[in-house]
């Protein structure tokens, strides 16, 4: 008997899911059994159906609700994370409160993970028994509505983040774009050419950067990081640390005299990938947005020794401020997009390729800078000595990816990138090029055509993962060269190929701090460290946390077109949310029954969202439903049983336990 | 004073007596107790494994079983020979990861009234013990006669850092442990990227031409770096490079005279022992002239000059990975 | 690769298709991961004795997968292996290649299908000594082996041999038997029975 | 039921965000594991009321699995630490009641760790199979004796 004394009339629906479930679970038997054995619990209709999630399957539920006067629905099918919404809608279309529906996952938890048909069928029965026992205690719930703040926080100013920010800003909503480095642009700003069309990277990126910099709806925070995030979908509050630039932005004209005069030269490990130098006061590159420099206090002579101040002396507008401090800025936003990008694999770890020991072994990012017209060599492909043009170049694919010693996954961009490198070497130096690959992977518009173009250009493609690169010559031909030792697997012989230069197509890796970022925003990372999307196929830019979206390489290795597409997709999702003005939240909340509350305050300190407040006058606790996130910890902790957790009440869980174990009890009784 | 159960292996009694003598000498200075595995047998090298797996592993496991009976406080077994070290760790590892196999080997041991519980022993190579357990600081503090002026090629050979089941070394191909140990003795360590390349193993007996080629590569690379001598941590490496250097010279019409010593002999010299107490003179390519350089300032070498300021226009090199032994690396990541 | 063309590659997938690969996997102590091979050639590129092998290790794995038993087991590849473990630590699929080579040698010895007997004979001479004394004996081993296989090499070796015996002072008599010789023999006997199962 | 082919019944509690999704992932990847565990979804492992565990044992479960996000990864900041505390407490209480503490297990599994979830479930089932069936049920009058406990909670 339920609380409101209404007799439960339950419909049970067992899905075949084609053969996904029916191949292992005897679904017809389960459906018949449910009607026979669970009749006393209130089951009046029990059916099996090929695809419950199809419109016909949903209509079946709606029809039964009306015809059989059902008031509760149990669907035994896939995981509720996939179709709970579908069946709640069907239940609602039938005229019931959508929360009078419960899903039992007999696909993910039964048919896909077990092979013994008899045992699987039995397990499905007990799980349905649990679901039926639980739903008896379901109550109609009303979703909560909360307003959505129209502003959006975009974290990461690479191409994906820029795209997302522009789409939202163009739709007329405010965006806060936060970038850790002094300028937006990300990795794309470091490249010279983009595959397969060989567009100039800067030519297509710079206009977007400028647009983002000037857009009236975009607040740009560069040299800044998000430090704290509170709140929930529609109503987040983020704290941004704006690191001290030591430059007064309002006064700086971006003339560049400070950089010119600064006496301290530093190896630029970020933008130049360690291949070039910058000053201690710098903008990372000429087209930087914004164009204000920053003073790198770790290397600045003044901060090291207390004297210098050359920049201050020469600045025509007195914009240098050595006393400037970090600023903490608090912003209110409704949605968040994380586009934090990737780090390049540290190729020094592959000691057999000699990076870091052999001068003329370069990483892919170093090579990008080498070919870039604004790079350290003005775009000339030369050896580490800065002058010699190589006569032969080896490009090694899959360095640190597709390798269980480092990263198991395919970095997806390396093949195309390596082909681009081969092309640039042909074009700029006429050198002989060897590409060492395991498999050539070119799925993408115009990609395989590009591969064939490189074949035509005379690139030497050698199928084999390079075993080692050494400078230990065995004969005069190898003297003074880098020797690539590899099995040419198509010939079946070991070969030693002497070259002048090696380029390592290093893997894309999750940002070193990806795990901390995930924690900060309350979303999770895969075992590798990539941020996890809500569904790998059908919901690639949303996350498990409402209001937080991901785009670009933060989600996994991808090329520029895909990063742009994801940035735009995330933006579209956010714009849709903003336009609805409010969002319905799952009504899974805790509430205190005042009469039962003894005022012990045990629950008060348990809530991480500060949702529980204590009324000193009445000596009772109360839960603010807007702040409560529904975890249920206080429900479990209340010694007086005074806290109710909707959707997961004690009655619901305890009955489910009973239902799950019903078959066991019957077996024990017949013993 | 820490005690170790010692598995010497057959070579220590014959071709590698210098290793044995010098090890016993320096263990006094380092204050470590060494007790042989009682009635140990040959580990079978790579040969028994080639013929039949179960008897080969049973042969190795008898030693593990005997050693585990001797555990008294310390459960560390110290091995000096690379092949022995690898075989002992390999048997322990495979018995652990493949329980069915472990049971089979124990069934064989049972016939001799023995048994071995995989994981009961910690099996370590002497070099590992010296760098990671005893520590470079302590070794440095015992140095009485720094090996200044001696240019040394550090040759570890393959089977100590590979496959390294228990991750004891900093890298499988370019580990820094031997370099750091030699540096702490005051020696100049030359750039020797072949530090873990193969010496040819039993190829001197099976396919001499293959072996001569491998020996030639190693000796030539050390000679190119103007090394005064090479040190190894493996009796097989020492024997191949030392005893077959002449035959190799004959084969390639070269005239290398590269002395090949055990690293423990250099440790002993630095600790102040006399050459005669350390098994010097047992090597075929004499180390006498190389040792005469001891104490002399080495002439500035090419590689040292290279480190100087790069000429204008040269692109910067990536910083090398910080040099730290595995134990320090593990601490740093924790 | 001409050898391959002369081999009858099974054209259909035989019922016992798993047999050769899984037989090798099952006979390899520990976890071989041999079924994970992606034919990248890291092993063949790394091998210091690849030049002397009739197939690279990678090609051997392809033969095992294709079920070309005789060609795979007759190959000199495992016998040229120097156990340097470069392939094993570099393999991107964590295949314990060196250990697989030992297994192939075990099967070839058992079925007596190796082509060149130099290496197997050396191993056998070695283990004979170990089975009789419990210890190995380098001088005796090298002497017996070279007399049998490299008699022409002996004159060139003379200076070295003299050095070994005089300067290095290596013993010329066999080692003392270990005390537990009877115990060891029992263990090995049982082990051989278990191997045969 | 003879003890030789005893198959335990285990009730598992999972959190909505990590371990339930790990189970989903094990399913999607078709990883096979022992069929003895029946899962109950909670929003957070912090929701786990010790009564749930006792109820499961009272109703004939041979063991209980509690799983949640890894420490530090909780969707609700740090509520899984509260589950951890209760877990240790429950272990003590259970052993006082004569139930082997090995019959409850705490498993951290992230949404990405389907493989870990599957293999840990199978391991736990093996472990409980070793322990044999829980006899406490019959000794104490079983379900009937446990009923009042439910009434108290529901009341």
Q: State the Cα–Cα distance between residues A467 and D86, nearest whole angstrom.
A: 53
Please report, rounded to a whole number, the percentage of residues in chain B having pLDDT higher than 70. 94
Q: What is the distance between the alpha carbons of residues D30 and A467, in angstroms, rounded to a whole number? A: 35
Residue D138: closest CA among chain A residues belongs to which residue?
A668
Q: Which two three-digit tokens encode residue C127?
A: 């283990």
Q: Which residues of D touch A642 (CB under 8 A)?
A: none
Give me the residue spans of the domains in chain A: 10-143, 145-239+331-341+511-584, 244-325, 346-509, 590-645
User: In this predicted model, what pLDDT tens digit does every residue of A397-427 receive, in sequence order?
Assistant: 999 999 999 999 999 999 999 999 999 999 9
SS3 A137: coil
- Summary mean pLDDT of chain A: 94
Searching chain A, which residue's CA lies closest to the CA of residue D46? A633
| Domain-located, residue B203 | yes
Residues 178-237 of B with CB under 8 A from A: 193-194, 217, 221
Q: For residue A524, what pLDDT is reported?
A: 81
Q: Which residues of B touch A387 (CB under 8 A)?
A: 313
d(CA D57, CA D53): 6
- Containing H/E element for B276? none
- Altogether, the residues listed in chain C come to a count of 197
Look up residue A536 and give its two tokens: 């790998």
Name the CA dihedral angle for A419, A425, A427, A428, rounded to a multiple of 10 degrees: 150
Averaged confidence pLDDT in chain B: 91
Give C29's contacts in chain B (Cβ within 8 Å): 53, 57, 94, 98, 101
In this complex, whether B and A touch, counting 3 or more CB pairs under 8 angstroms, is yes
Residues across chain B: 334
Tell me the average pLDDT across B8-34.
94
Q: What per-residue confidence (pLDDT) applies to D153?
A: 39
What is the average pLDDT across A588-605?
Answer: 92
Q: Is residue B59 part of a domain?
A: yes
Structure ipTM:
0.84
For residues B80 and B19, what is the distance between their CA atoms, to the nearest angstrom? 8
pLDDT tens by residue, chain C, 197 residues = 444 444 555 555 555 555 799 999 999 999 999 999 999 999 999 999 999 999 999 999 999 999 999 999 999 999 999 999 999 999 999 999 999 999 999 999 999 998 888 889 999 999 999 999 999 888 878 888 888 888 888 788 888 888 888 877 788 788 889 999 999 999 999 999 999 87
**A21 or B291, greater pLDDT:** A21
Rounded to a whole number, what is the distance in Å from the CA of C192 to chain A's nearest CA?
A: 35
Q: A-chain residues within 8 Å CB-CB of D72?
A: 519
Q: Can you name the CATH fold of A590-645?
A: Alpha-Beta Plaits (3.30.70)
At A348-405, the pLDDT tens digits run 999 999 999 999 999 999 999 999 999 999 999 999 999 999 999 999 999 999 999 9
Asked if residue A89 lies in contact with residue A97, where contact means CB atoms within 8 angstroms, the answer is no
Lowest mean pLDDT among A334-338, A403-407, D33-37, D146-150: D146-150
Above pLDDT 70, what percent of chain A?
98
Which of A464, A486, A492 lies closest to C1 in CB terms? A492
Quickly count: other Cβ atoms within 10 Å of residue A57's Cβ: 21
Beta carbons within 8 Å of A314's beta carbon, 6+ residues apart = A257, A258, A261
Q: Which CATH superfamily is domain C2-111 in?
A: Alpha-helical ferredoxin (1.10.1060.10)
Give the residue-averaged pLDDT of A500-506: 98
Count of CB atoms situated within 10 Å of the CB of B144: 10
Indicate the class that CATH gives domain A145-239+331-341+511-584: alpha beta
Interatomic CA distance for residues A336 and A345, integer angstroms: 27
Which pLDDT belongs to residue A508?
98
Query: Is residue C5 less than 8 Å (CB to CB) from chain A?
Result: no
All residues of chain C having their beta carbon less than 8 Å from the beta carbon of residue A487 are 41-45, 50, 56, 58
Q: How far apart are CA A644 and CA A653, in angstroms?
A: 12
- DSSP character at residue B202: T
**pLDDT for the residue numbered D147:** 44
Per the rule left: phi > 0, alpha: psi between -120 and 50, beta: everything else, A401 is beta
pLDDT in tens, B82-108: 999 999 999 999 999 999 999 999 999
Packed helices D114-131 and D19-28: angle between N→C axes, nearest 10 degrees:
100
Q: Residue A417, Cα to own-chain centre: how many angstroms?
A: 23
Distance linking the first and last C-alpha atoms of chain C: 36
Burial of D105 (0-12, 13-18, 19+ CB in 10 A): buried
Does B211 lie in the same domain as B96?
no
**What's the pLDDT at C153?**
81
Strands A294-295 and A281-282: antiparallel
For the CA atoms of A554, A559, A562, A565, what is the dihedral angle to 10 degrees?
80
In a domain, B185, yes or no: yes
- What's the helix, strand, coil split of chain A in %, to 5? 30, 25, 45
Residue B107 belongs to a domain: yes
H or E, element range at A227 = strand A224-232
- Across the interface, whether the CB atoms of A404 and C41 are under 8 A apart is answered no
Look at residue D148 in the predicted model and tell me its pLDDT.
Answer: 41
Chains A and C contact (Cβ–Cβ under 8 Å for 3 or more pairs) = yes
Neighbours of A138 (CB within 10 A): 23
Residues B115 and B73 in one domain: yes
Q: Look at residue C4 in the predicted model and tell me its pLDDT.
A: 44
| Contact partners, residue A206, CB within 8 Å, separation at least 6 | A287
Helix axes A650-660, A117-135, angle to 10 degrees: 150
Any CB–CB contact under 8 A between C49 and chain A? no
Tokens of A556: 């996994």
**CA–CA separation, A584 vs A147, rounded Å?**
9
Tally of residues, chain A: 671
B95 and B218 both lie in a single domain: no
What fold does the segment set A244-325 form as a domain? Alpha-Beta Plaits (3.30.70)
Cβ of residue B113 closer than 8 Å to a chain A Cβ: no
Question: Testing the interface with C: which of B7, B45, B51 to mutate, by most C Cβ within 10 A?
Answer: B51
C197 CB-near residues (< 8 Å, 6+ apart): none
Closest CA to C84 of A486, B224, B203, B219: B203
H/E stretch holding C111: helix C97-111
Distance CA A20, CA A83 (A): 15
Q: Is B302 on the interface with A (CB under 8 A)?
A: no
Look at A282-296, A621-635, B139-153, D117-131 and tell me which has the smallest mean pLDDT: A621-635
Task: List, in sequence order, every residue forming a beta bridge with A465; answer none if it has no partner.
Answer: none
* The two three-digit tokens of residue A193, written as one number: 């050419």
Query: With an 8 Å Cβ cutoff, is C52 touching chain A?
Result: no
User: Any idea what the Cα angle at residue D46 is, between residues D40 and D48, rounded to 5°?
Assistant: 45
Q: What is the rounded distance in angstroms from the CA atom of residue D102 to the CA atom of residue D93? A: 13
pLDDT at D72 over 80: no
Q: Rounded CA gap, D135 and D137, in Å?
A: 5
Inside any domain, residue B87? yes
Which of B221, B315, B318 is the closest to A355 by Cβ? B318
Return the exposure string of B155-174: e unless at least 16 CB atoms fall within 10 Å of the residue's CB, then b.
bbbbbbbbbbbeebbbbbbb
Contacting residues of C for A492, CB less than 8 Å apart: 1, 44, 55-56, 58-59
Give domain A346-509's CATH superfamily.
FAD/NAD(P)-binding domain (3.50.50.60)
How many structural domains is chain B composed of?
A: 2
Residue pair A542/A573 in contact (Cβ under 8 Å)? The answer is: yes
At B311, is the pLDDT very low, low, confident or very high (cuts 50, 70, 90)?
Answer: low
Q: Compute the distance between CA of residue C85 and CA of residue C39 in angstroms, rounded to an integer.
A: 18
Q: Do B285 and B239 meet the contact criterion of CB atoms below 8 Å apart?
A: no
Q: What is the Cα–Cα distance from A398 to A539, expressed in whole angstroms? A: 29
**CATH code linked to domain D8-154:** 3.40.50
Q: Give the closest-approach CA distance of A649 to chain D in angstroms.
A: 10
d(CA B111, CA B95): 18
Please indicate, yes or no, whether residues B70 and B197 belong to a single structural domain of this protein: no
Q: Write down the pLDDT at residue C14.
A: 52
Paired tokens of A258: 């400070």
Given a cut of 90, whether residue D47 has pLDDT beyond it is: yes
pLDDT above 90 coverage of chain A, percent: 89
How does C42-80 read in b/e, with b if 16+ C-beta sit within 10 Å?
A: bbbbbbbbbebbebbbbbbbbbbbbbbbebbbebbbbbb
Q: pLDDT (tens digit, 9 = 90+) per residue, A113-144?
A: 999 999 999 999 999 999 999 999 999 999 88
Distance (Å, whole) CA A14 – CA A50: 9
Q: Which of A410, A470, A494, A497 is the best substitution to test chain C (most C C-beta atoms within 10 A)?
A: A494
Residue range A10-143 in CATH 3.40.50 = yes
Distance from CA of C173 to the nearest CA of A (A): 40
CB distance B208–C150 less than 8 Å? Answer: yes
Q: How far is B198 from chain A (nearest CA, A)?
A: 14
- Asked, for residue B27, whether it belongs to a domain, the answer is yes
B313 belongs to a structural domain: no
Among A115, A631, A668, select the one facing D32 at the smallest CB separation: A115
Token readout for A373 is: 């017209």
A203-208: Cβ within 8 A, 24+ apart: A205/A159, A206/A287, A208/A159, A208/A162, A208/A163, A208/A166
Residue D136's pLDDT is what?
Answer: 59
Contact A351 B316 (CB under 8 A): no
Q: Is the link from the previous residue into A426 a cis peptide, with omega within 30 of 0?
A: no
Between A533-537, A645-649, D141-145, the lowest mean confidence (pLDDT) is in: D141-145
Instruction: Provide, rounded to the nearest whole percent, the portion of chain D with pLDDT above 70.
Output: 85
| Rounded Cα distance, A542 and A552, in Å | 12
Specify the domain boundaries for CATH 1.10.1060.10 within chain C.
Answer: 2-111
Indicate if A346-509 has the same CATH topology as A145-239+331-341+511-584: yes
Distances (CA, A) of A22 to A19, A112, B221, D38, D118: 5, 11, 68, 19, 22
CATH for B290? 3.40.50.11810
- Residue B114 sits in a domain whose CATH number is 1.20.1050.140
Report yes or no: A284 and A186 within 8 Å, Cβ to Cβ. no
Which pLDDT belongs to residue D140? 47
Instruction: Identify which of D48, D82, D110 has the shortest CB distance to residue A606.
Output: D82
- Collapsed DSSP state (helix, strand, coil) of residue A578: helix
Domain range for residue B81?
2-125
Judge whether residue D151 has pLDDT over 60: no
Q: What is the pLDDT of residue A304?
A: 94
What number of other Cβ atoms are within 10 A of residue A125's Cβ?
A: 23
Q: B88 and B225 share a domain?
A: no
Contact A654 D41 (CB under 8 A): no
- Is it the case that residue B296 has pLDDT exceeding 70? no
Q: Please determine, for residue A539, whether its predicted confidence score (pLDDT) is greater than 60.
A: yes
Which of A524, A609, A636 is facing D49, going by the closest CB pair? A636
Q: Are residues B157 and B229 in the same domain?
A: yes
Q: Judge whether residue B330 has pLDDT over 90.
A: no
End-to-end alpha carbon distance in chain A: 30
**b/e code A548-560 from CB counts within 10 Å (16+ = b):** bbbbbbbbbbbbb
Global confidence as pTM: 0.86
Angle, nearest 10°, between helix axes D50-58 and D142-154? 150
Considering only A267-281, A289-303, A524-538, which range has the smallest mean pLDDT?
Answer: A524-538
Does D63 have pLDDT greater than 70? yes
Chain B residues in contact with A275 by the CB 8 A cut-off are 315-316
CB pairs A-D closer than 8 Å: 162
Inter-residue contact B189 to B183 (CB < 8 Å): yes
Same domain, B96 and B177: no
């Amino acid at each position: 008997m339920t609380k409101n004394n209404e007799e439960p009339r339950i419909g049970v629906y067992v899905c075949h899911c084609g053969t996904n479930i029916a191949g292992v679970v005897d679904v017809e038997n389960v459906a018949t059994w449910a009607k026979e054995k669970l009749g006393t619990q209130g089951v009046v209709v029990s059916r099996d159906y090929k695809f419950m999630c199809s419109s016909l399957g949903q209509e079946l539920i709606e029809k039964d609700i009306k015809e059989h006067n059902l008031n509760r629905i149990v669907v035994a099918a896939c995981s509720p994370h996939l179709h709970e919404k579908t069946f709640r809608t069907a239940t609602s279309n039938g005229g019931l409160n959508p929360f009078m529906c419960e899903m039992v996952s007999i696909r993910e938890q039964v048919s896909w993970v077990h092979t013994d048909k008899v045992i699987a069928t039995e397990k499905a029965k007990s799980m349905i028994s649990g679901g039926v026992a639980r739903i008896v205690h379901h109550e109609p719930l009303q979703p909560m509505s909360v307003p959505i703040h129209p502003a959006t926080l975009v974290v990461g100013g690479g191409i994906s983040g820029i795209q997302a920010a522009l789409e939202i800003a163009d739709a007329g909503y405010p965006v806060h774009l936060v970038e850790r480095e002094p300028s937006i642009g990300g990795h794309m700003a470091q490249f010279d050419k983009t595959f397969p069309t060989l567009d100039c990277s800067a030519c297509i990126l710079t206009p977007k950067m400028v647009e983002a910099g000037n857009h009236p709806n975009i607040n740009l925070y560069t040299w800044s990081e998000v430090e704290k995030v509170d709140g929930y979908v529609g109503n987040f509050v983020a704290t941004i640390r704006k690191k001290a630039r030591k430059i007064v932005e309002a006064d700086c004209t971006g003339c560049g005299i400070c950089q010119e005069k600064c006496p301290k030269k530093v190896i630029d490990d970020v933008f130049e990938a360690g291949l070039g130098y910058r000053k201690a006061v710098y903008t990372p590159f000429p087209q930087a947005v914004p164009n204000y420099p920053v003073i790198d206090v770790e290397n600045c002579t003044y901060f090291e020794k207390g004297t210098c101040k050359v920049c201050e002396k020469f600045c025509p507008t007195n914009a240098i401020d050595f006393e400037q401090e970090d600023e903490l800025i608090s912003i209110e936003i409704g949605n968040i997009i994380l586009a934090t990008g990737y780090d390049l694999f540290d190729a020094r770890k592959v000691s057999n390729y000699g990076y870091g020991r052999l001068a003329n072994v370069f990483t892919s990012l170093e090579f990008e800078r080498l070919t870039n017209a604004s790079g350290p060599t003005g775009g000339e492909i030369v050896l580490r000595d800065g002058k010699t043009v190589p006569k032969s170049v080896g490009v090694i694919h899959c360095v640190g990816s597709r390798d269980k010693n480092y990263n198991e996954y395919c970095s997806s961009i390396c093949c195309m990138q390596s082909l681009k490198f081969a092309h640039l070497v042909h074009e700029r130096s006429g050198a002989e090029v060897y590409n060492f690959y395991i498999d050539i992977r070119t799925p993408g518009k115009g990609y395989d055509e590009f591969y064939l173009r490189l074949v035509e250009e005379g690139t030497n493609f050698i199928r084999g993962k390079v075993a080692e690169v050494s400078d230990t010559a065995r004969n005069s031909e190898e003297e003074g060269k880098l020797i690539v030792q590899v099995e040419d697997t198509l010939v079946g012989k070991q070969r030693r190929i002497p070259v002048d230069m090696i380029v390592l197509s290093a893997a894309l890796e999750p940002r070193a701090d990806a795990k901390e970022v995930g924690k900060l925003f309350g979303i999770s990372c895969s075992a590798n460290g990539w941020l996890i999307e809500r569904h790998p196929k059908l919901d690639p830019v949303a996350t498990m946390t409402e209001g937080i979206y991901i785009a670009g390489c933060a989600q996994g290795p991808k090329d520029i077109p895909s990063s742009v597409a994801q940035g735009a997709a995330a933006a579209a999702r956010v714009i849709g949310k903003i336009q609805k003005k409010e969002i319905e939240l799952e009504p899974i909340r805790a509430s205190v029954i005042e009469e039962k509350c003894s005022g012990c305050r045990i629950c008060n300190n348990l809530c991480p969202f500060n949702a529980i407040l204590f009324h000193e006058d009445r000596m009772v606790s109360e839960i603010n439903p807007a702040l409560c996130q529904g975890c249920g910890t206080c429900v479990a902790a209340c010694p007086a049983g005074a806290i109710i957790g909707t959707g997961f009440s004690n009655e619901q869980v305890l009955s489910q336990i009973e239902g799950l174990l019903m078959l066991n009890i019957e077996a024990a009784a017949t013993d | 004073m820490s005690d170790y159960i010692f598995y010497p292996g057959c070579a220590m009694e014959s071709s590698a007596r210098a290793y044995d003598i010098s090890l016993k000498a320096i263990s006094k200075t380092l204050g470590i107790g060494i007790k042989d595995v009682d009635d140990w047998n040959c580990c079978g090298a790579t040969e028994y494994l080639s013929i039949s797996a179960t008897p080969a592993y049973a042969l190795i496991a008898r030693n593990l079983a005997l050693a585990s009976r001797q555990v008294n406080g310390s459960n560390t077994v110290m091995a000096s020979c690379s092949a022995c070290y690898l075989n002992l760790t390999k048997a322990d590892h495979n018995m652990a990861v493949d329980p069915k196999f472990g049971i089979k080997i124990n069934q064989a041991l049972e016939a001799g009234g023995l048994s071995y519980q995989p994981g009961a022993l910690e099996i370590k190579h002497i070099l590992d013990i010296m760098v990671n357990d005893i520590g470079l600081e302590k070794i440095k503090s015992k140095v009485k006669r720094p090996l200044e002026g001696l240019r040394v090629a550090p040759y570890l050979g393959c089977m100590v850092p590979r496959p390294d089941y228990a991750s004891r070394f900093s890298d499988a191909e370019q580990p820094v442990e031997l370099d750091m140990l030699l540096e702490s003795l005051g020696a100049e360590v030359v750039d020797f990227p072949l530090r873990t390349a193969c010496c040819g193993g039993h190829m001197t007996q099976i396919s001499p031409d293959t072996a001569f080629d491998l020996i030639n590569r190693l000796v030539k690379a050390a000679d190119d770096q103007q090394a005064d001598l090479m040190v190894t941590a493996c009796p097989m490496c020492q024997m191949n490079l030392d005893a077959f250097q002449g035959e190799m010279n004959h084969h390639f019409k070269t005239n290398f005279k590269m002395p090949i010593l055990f690293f423990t002999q250099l440790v002993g010299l630095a600790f102040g022992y006399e050459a005669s107490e350390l098994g010097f003179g047992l090597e075929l390519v004499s180390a006498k002239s190389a040792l005469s350089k001891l104490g002399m300032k080495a002439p500035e070498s090419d590689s040292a000059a290279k480190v100087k300021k790069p000429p204008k226009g040269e692109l910067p090199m990536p910083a090398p990975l910080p040099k730290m032994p595995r134990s320090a690396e593990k601490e740093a990541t924790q | 690769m001409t050898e391959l063309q002369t081999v009858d590659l099974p054209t259909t997938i035989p019922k016992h298709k798993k047999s050769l690969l899984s037989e090798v996997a099952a006979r390899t102590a520990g976890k071989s991961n041999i079924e994970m091979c992606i034919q990248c050639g890291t092993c063949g590129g790394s091998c210091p004795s690849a030049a002397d092998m009739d197939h690279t290790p990678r090609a051997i794995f392809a033969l095992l997968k294709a079920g070309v038993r005789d060609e795979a087991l007759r190959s000199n590849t495992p016998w040229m292996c120097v156990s340097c473990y470069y392939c094993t630590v570099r393999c991107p699929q964590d295949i314990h290649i060196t250990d697989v080579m030992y297994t192939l040698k075990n099967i070839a010895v058992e079925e007596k299908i190796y082509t060149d007997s130099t290496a197997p004979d050396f191993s056998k001479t070695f283990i004979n000594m170990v089975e009789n004394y419990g210890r190995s004996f380098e001088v005796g081993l090298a002497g017996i082996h070279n007399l049998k296989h490299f008699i022409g090499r002996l004159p060139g070796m003379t200076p070295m041999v003299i050095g070994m015996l005089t300067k290095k002072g290596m013993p010329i008599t066999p080692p003392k038997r270990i005390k537990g010789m009877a115990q060891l023999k029992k263990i090995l006997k049982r082990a051989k029975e278990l191997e045969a199962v | 039921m003879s003890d030789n082919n005893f198959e335990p019944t285990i009730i598992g509690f999972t959190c909505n965000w990590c371990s339930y999704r790990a189970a989903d992932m094990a399913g999607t990847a078709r990883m096979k594991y022992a069929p003895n565990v029946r899962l109950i979804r909670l929003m957070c492992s912090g929701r786990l009321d010790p009564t749930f565990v006792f109820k499961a044992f009272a109703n004939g479960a041979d063991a209980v699995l509690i799983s949640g996000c890894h420490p530090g990864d909780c969707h609700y900041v740090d509520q899984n630490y509260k589950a951890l505390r209760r877990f240790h407490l429950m272990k003590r209480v259970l052993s006082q009641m004569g139930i082997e503490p090995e019959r409850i297990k705490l498993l951290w599994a992230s949404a990405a760790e389907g493989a870990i979830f599957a293999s840990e479930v199978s391991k736990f089932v093996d472990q409980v199979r070793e322990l044999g069936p829980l006899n406490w049920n019959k000794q104490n009058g079983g379900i009937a004796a446990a009923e009042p406990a439910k009434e108290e909670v529901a009341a």
